[in-house]
Amino acid sequence: NGEMLAMCGIGDWITGVLHKDGAPVASVIPEEGGIQWTESYSIGKGSTRQEIANKFIQYMLSPGGQVRSIQMAAYPGLSPTKSGWKAIQDANPAEAERSGLIEGHDQSPRKLLAEKRLFLRDIPRQQTLEDWNDFWSEYKTA
């Protein structure tokens, strides 16, 4: 409705969902940088189904798996591979553009990393409720 100018900490996935529903929104990493939320695929040491887990990981890293991940309804991923970028550009050019998965795009993850505008999230540490409340108060008055 045009009332929100900026929002902190929600992530690109929500702007993707809103954009797909026709809302005129976009995600932008500011010049000062931002935190990149990352996820990984892992196979537990004691897994009894390592072979099928490995096949799943191989699929998710394939161009087809990357396209599927990028187009998920909630928490879509960004492709870490050049073949994934090419596949999403072919399958859904509008989503490739929206999520910056085009070489030279202003919000391309590769460009943002090269410019040191994305920072990997640190390992979580235990914080008190008071720490969170102090941060929230500071954020609201910024």
Please give the angle made by the CA atoms of 20, 23 and 26, to the nearest 5 degrees. 85
Output the average pLDDT for the chain: 83
103-130: per-residue pLDDT in tens? 888 878 888 888 888 776 666 678 888 9
Q: Is residue 72 part of a domain?
A: yes
Q: What single-letter DSSP state applies at residue 25? A: -
pTM value surpassing 0.75? no
Number of domains within the chain: 1
Task: Say if residue 1's pLDDT is above 60.
Answer: no
27-72: per-residue pLDDT in tens? 777 788 777 667 788 898 899 999 999 999 999 999 999 999 888 8
Structural domain that includes position 101: 12-40+49-137
Q: Is residue 4 part of a domain?
A: no
